[in-house]
Amino acid sequence: MNKRVWRIVARGLGAVGAALCAMHSAAAQPLTLRYGQDWSSAHSIFSLPISVAQREGLFRREGLNVQIVIPVPGGSDRMVFDALNKGWIDVTHIATAFLIRAVMKGSDAVAVDAEFKNPIYSLIAKPTIKSYADLKGKLIGLADEQGSIAISMRRLLAKHGLPRGSFGVKTEAGTPQRLYCLLHGNCDAVVLGQPQDLQALAQGYSLLGRSDEVVPDLLYTVTAARREWAEAHREAVVRYVRATADAFAFIRDPANRGKVIADIAVTTGCSAAIAGQTLDLFNEPGRDVLPKRGEIDLKGFQQVIAMLAESGLLKPPLPQPERFVNLQYLKAAGVQ
């Protein structure tokens, strides 16, 4: 072997050695990242990509020590202004509507990847209520009026002849709380996500309609961080994005169905049968509930902005979705 070939081989071996050393270093000294959730999110289906990444060791494989911080005091509305700004957490799960509201009030928070795209929210009523007309004058449990859940439900109710003022409203944060209101007779109907809507149906409650009947594709929840913090901890954010991308791939793989069902059951406290129905609902053609790899859909983000404007929560000129996102971490991770 001549000297030129030896030099090429030596360079190749050196590169392999450097890569192995880098991998060993990442494994030996993981980066710590504190991920914030409120209580209701932590025990809901919306924690699925994060819980899968944790349970399957996908964060660990990326050299990350992800610490789940629960609960964040104050719930969803305080995730940014308290939790992020005061340094209690590094990144947070948050609905895009609340992120938009925080940024418009001066926060420098920004979305770094997507968690859920098109949620399926069901309007579930007492067994004696069989139609929208039966809800006139009744009490309905809705989410925060400034969020996309309540906005979509008001659209659905108005479409079926129940405009604002034709029914009473009880605001309850989180699907578990709204289910409690229904089961204990304090609400005549409530808006529920999965698996609680499927649990209620199994007990004989009525399904009147679902949010995707009136809402085009949107971007529902994201992971957000402060711009300055994310720039200073770029490697940690990129590793996080890669791990969540792998979590979405894991969830979509039919070979992992049993593990995903078990994860849903443990996280939400439902039976394996209900967890399986939830996963099947998500996988129905055209539902598009989960991102493929955590990519941020700017058109879906724009739809949330439009919904907030429709409800009078944003005034013209409307902001562009690019104001609320930073795609550099998804691009660095090879996702977007």
* Domains in the chain, CATH or no CATH each: 29-117+219-332 (3.40.190.10), 122-213 (3.40.190.10)
This prediction's pTM = 0.87
Chain-centre distance of CA 78, in angstroms? 16
CA 46/CA 237 separation, integer angstroms: 20
Q: Would you say the C-alpha torsion 123, 125, 131, 134 has a positive or negative sign?
A: negative
For residue 321, the model assigns a pLDDT of 98
Asked if residues 112 and 237 have their Cβ atoms less than 8 Å apart, the reply is yes
What is the predicted pLDDT for the residue at 145? 87
Q: Each residue of 90-133: pLDDT tens digit?
A: 999 999 999 999 999 999 999 999 999 999 999 999 999 999 99
Strands 139-142 vs 206-210: parallel, antiparallel or unpaired? unpaired
30 close to 206: Cβ distance less than 8 angstroms? no
- Quote the DSSP letter at residue 79: I
Q: What is the pLDDT along the chain (336 residues), one digit of tens a residue?
A: 454 544 544 455 454 444 444 444 444 589 999 999 888 788 899 999 999 999 999 999 999 999 999 866 666 667 777 788 888 899 999 999 999 999 999 999 999 999 999 999 999 999 999 999 999 999 999 998 888 999 999 999 999 999 999 999 999 988 888 999 999 999 999 999 999 999 999 999 999 999 999 998 999 999 999 999 999 999 999 999 999 999 999 999 999 999 999 999 999 999 999 999 999 999 999 899 999 999 999 999 999 999 999 889 999 999 999 999 999 999 999 999
List all residues 6 or more positions away from 269 whose beta carbon is below 8 Å from its beta carbon: 43
Q: How many helices (H) and strands (E) does the chain have?
A: 14, 10
> Residue 24 contacts by C-beta under 8 Å, 6 or more apart in sequence?
none
- pLDDT for res 23: 47
Which pLDDT score, from 0 to 100, does residue 74 have?
63
Alpha helix (H) residue ranges in 2-134: 3-28, 39-42, 48-55, 58-61, 96-104
Contact 149, 177 (CB under 8 A): no
pLDDT at 22: 43
Write the burial class of residue 332 (CB in 10 Å: 0-12 exposed, 13-18 middle, 19+ buried): middle
Question: What 3-state DSSP class applies to 140?
Answer: strand
